Structure 1
Amino acid sequence: MNLILLAPEDIRHDRLASVRDPRRLRHLREVHRARVGDVLTLGVQDGGIGRGELTLLSDDEARFALETLDTPPPPALPVHLVLALPRPRMLARSLEHVTAMGVKRITLLHTRRVEKSYWQSPELEPAKIHEHLVLGLEQARDTALPEVDVAKGFRPFVEERLPQLLEGRRGLVAHPGMPSPCPTGLSEPCVLLIGPEGGFIPYEVERLLEAGCEGIHLGPRILRVETAVVALLARLF
């Protein structure tokens, strides 16, 4: 936790914040080994970043006297990530990784090779998704919470939503065997689509290409989703 992310309800008034949830308190004690008087990096969700002095640390509360929180968060990546829903454990790690890298729009998509049981996972509950997003923000010293939505039908997504997403954006389908290597140093907005373990099926690739997306690859190696998404984002931006 490189940043103590404050939720709006943590702010008592402009100069005082109170943290009570067990995870952050445990991290302050066990990782930061914080003591009263320490000055730590703080940020307000969807707000600025600054510093705060720890004035109280007990078993159930930490209080901070806030300094000015006016440093903006790091810039977001100009990408809308469309990720075929991975296995629950991989979903948790992927959300944390892409949030830390600066992705602010994420759509979780159903495709043929996505197990239907994945959609019943507790990891898709809003509170769990929020938890993983917060962990990614804390890692990267960011405060801007990503937006996450789901698309449980591939065909409706391609026919109804994808054309709107591609307006003013470059569509990139990452899939083994595509003709073009992943571009580098991209500055234009894009939609990046990544398939599940095993990849998109041929029908899905055809529909995405017909919709106006470009097929790209990372070379001959087959990577896990959580590795591929980080490699693609790092190469693109």
Structure 2
Amino acid sequence: MNCILLPESDIALPYAQINDPAQITHVHKVLSLQLGDTLKIGQLGGNLGTAIINEMTPNNIQLADVQLDTAPPPKLDVTVVLALPRPKVLRRLIMDMTALGVRDIVLINSYRTQKSYWQSPLLARLDEFVLEGLQQGVDTVAPRISMQKRFKPFVEDELASLITHDAIVAHPYSELSLTQYLQRHALQSAPSTKAALPSVVCIGSEGGWINYEIELLAAQGCQAVHMGSRILRTEAAVNVLLGQWLLHNS
């Protein structure tokens, strides 16, 4: 955790309290903070700031001189459409995408998504994984997450409304590389402005998309791109792709 995020109900300026066992353990055992030390905190959905540790017990930490005066970092202007992966992979991906600042996440069914994934108890813990990602990335605003269990109706009826300026789909067997796509995009942009990245990126689960899915996505304006000759795991593909948005926003 690079900051401790608290719900509004635990903050009464200029005071606050930490009740979450994992956060308390982190303060005691990882940060090794003592009375009078300064702690980086934030309010979920609000600002970031600092506080002074005023009282510590094994089950509660009281904070004083709470100052929440720093706005959270801007979200990445992108919607990630992700084919639901294996549950353990999903946990890491939700944390990573949240830490990276993704604005919207759509978890979608695909041909290679096993039906059992949709019954995983981890789907009920997405808020927990989002909180971990926010505390890692020092952010307070959670991504919007939706789940779409029917691929074709979503792609044909809803995907187009999410595409404000272009869309790409990661596909290792496409003819166009991500680098070529970005270069082409830059040439088409005005010289005085940054080239806008796509507003939607579609990423398959392990095994990727089948041809039918690629064709259906293409019909809605999604350009297939590859990232080189190596076949990447879903986690690697997500981080490689979203790194472009981080660099673009820096």
User: Which one-letter code corresponds to 2:8 in the other structure?
Assistant: P
User: Which one-letter code corresponds to 1:216 in the other structure?
Assistant: V
User: Which one-letter code corresponds to 1:23 in the other structure?
Assistant: A
Tell whether 2:29 aligns with 1:30. Answer: yes
Quote the residue 2:170 is aligned against.
Answer: 174
* Structure 1 residue 26 displacement after superposition: 0.6
* Structure 1 residue 46 displacement after superposition: 1.1
| Structure 2 counterparts to residues 15-164 of structure 1, below 5 A | 15-125=14-124, 128-164=125-161
Question: Is the 1:105–1:148 Cα contact (8 Å) retained in structure 2?
Answer: yes
Quote the residue 1:5 is aligned against.
Answer: 5
SS of residue paired to 2:102 = coil
Quote the residue 2:241 is aligned against.
Answer: 232
User: Which one-letter code corresponds to 1:154 in the other structure?
Assistant: F
* Structure 1 residue 188 displacement after superposition: 4.0
* Structure 1 residue 116 displacement after superposition: 0.4
RMSD across aligned positions (CA): 1.3
Distance 2:49 2:31 in 1: 17
SS of residue paired to 1:69 = strand
User: Which one-letter code corresponds to 2:167 in the other structure?
Assistant: G
Quote the residue 1:210 is aligned against.
Answer: 219
Question: Is the 2:13–2:66 Cα contact (8 Å) retained in structure 1?
Answer: no
Distance 1:118 1:97 in 2: 19
* Structure 1 residue 186 displacement after superposition: 5.4
Post-superposition CA distance 1:75-113 (Å, at most 9, x none): 211100110001000000001111111102100000000
Q: 1:105 to 1:215 in 2, by over 3 A?
A: same
Q: Which runs of 5+ in 1 are unaligned?
A: none
User: Which one-letter code corresponds to 2:142 in the other structure?
Assistant: L
* Structure 1 residue 160 displacement after superposition: 1.1
- How many pairs does the alignment contain? 233
* Structure 1 residue 74 displacement after superposition: 1.3
Aligned identity (percent) is 41
Post-superposition CA distance 1:3-27 (Å, at most 9, x none): 011111211x121111111110111
Post-superposition CA distance 1:113-142 (Å, at most 9, x none): 0000000001101xx101111111111111
User: Which one-letter code corresponds to 1:4 in the other structure?
Assistant: I
SS of residue paired to 1:197 = coil
The normalised TM-score by structure 2 is: 0.90
Runs of 4 or more above 4 Å deviation: 183-186
Distance 2:203 2:8 in 1: 34
User: Which one-letter code corresponds to 1:37 in the other structure?
Assistant: G
Quote the residue 2:203 is aligned against.
Answer: 194
Distance 2:136 2:44 in 1: 14
Quote the residue 2:190 is aligned against.
Answer: none
SS of residue paired to 1:107 = strand
SS of residue paired to 1:70 = strand
* Structure 1 residue 189 displacement after superposition: 5.0
User: Which one-letter code corresponds to 1:14 in the other structure?
Assistant: L
The normalised TM-score by structure 1 is: 0.95
Distance 1:89 1:177 in 2: 26
Quote the residue 2:191 is aligned against.
Answer: none
Q: Which runs of 5+ in 2 are unaligned?
A: 183-193
Distance 2:236 2:212 in 1: 25
